[in-house]
């Protein structure tokens, strides 16, 4: 179940260094009934991020936003795109990595420790949309 309040949308496009990241982003207060079998709980503040053709985010780790922020939670709605894979580097090398690609007909998600290197590969065609929030450990 998804509930939202449209009045909380921040439509201001943030400026990024286009050599590191090419995407559009806004924040939105949204409540998603999400069941995670762990001590990680999602925040109710999600970022709505769009990656147009050639959009990407180079290899990085996420910054800590709160004291108990330990993970990033990413949700992909159904979408038909080419490229735009999320690549996780759990051992900080190219030897063993995990690639996540959005599906055309179902939602998928990922929970990533904030100290894990990852990137979003360039979009070849279509538009990638993600919902992103922080995972808080209690």
Is the residue at 95 inside a domain?
yes
Domain that includes residue 71, residue range: 2-12+22-137
Average pLDDT, integer, range 131-135: 90
| Residues 87-132: tens digit of each pLDDT | 999 887 667 789 999 898 999 989 999 999 999 999 999 999 999 9
Residue with token string 């982003």? 25
Is the residue at 17 inside a domain?
no
Domain count, the chain: 1
Beta bridge partners of 2: 32
Is the residue at 8 inside a domain?
yes
pLDDT confidence bin for 42, thresholds 50/70/90: confident
Q: Name which of 60, 53, 46 is nearest 17 in CA terms.
A: 60
User: Using CB atoms within 10 A of its CB, is residue 40 exposed (0-12), middle (13-18) or buried (19+)?
Assistant: middle
Six-digit token string for 6: 């449209």
Determine the Cα–Cα distance for residues 59 and 70; give it in Å rounded to an integer: 18
Please give the pLDDT value at position 27: 67
Contact 99, 85 (CB under 8 A): yes
| Residues 3-39: tens digit of each pLDDT | 333 333 344 445 566 777 888 777 666 666 666 667 8
| Residues 53-84: tens digit of each pLDDT | 999 999 999 999 899 999 999 999 999 999 99
Q: What is the CATH number of the domain that holds 55?
A: 2.60.120.620
Q: Is the pTM of this model over 0.85?
A: no
Is the residue at 100 inside a domain?
yes
DSSP, collapsed to helix, strand or coil, labels residue 81 as: coil
Is the residue at 110 inside a domain?
yes
Alpha carbon of 62 to those of 6, 33, 65, 70, 135: distances in Å?
A: 27, 24, 9, 10, 12
Beta strand 86-89 with 117-120 is antiparallel
């Amino acid at each position: 179940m998804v509930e939202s309040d449209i009045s909380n949308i921040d439509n201001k496009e943030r400026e990024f260094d286009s050599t590191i990241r090419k995407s559009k982003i806004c924040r939105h207060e949204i409540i998603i009934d999400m069941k995670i079998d762990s001590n990680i709980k999602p925040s109710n503040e999600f970022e709505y991020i769009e990656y147009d053709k050639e959009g990407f985010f180079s290899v990085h780790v996420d910054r800590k936003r709160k004291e108990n922020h330990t993970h990033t939670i990413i949700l992909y709605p159904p979408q038909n795109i080419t490229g735009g894979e999320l690549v996780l580097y759990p051992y900080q090398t190219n030897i063993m990595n995990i690639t996540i690609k959005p599906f055309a007909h179902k939602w998928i998600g990922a929970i990533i420790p904030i100290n894990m290197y990852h990137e979003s590969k360039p979009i070849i065609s279509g538009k990638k949309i993600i919902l992103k929030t922080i995972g808080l450990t209690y």
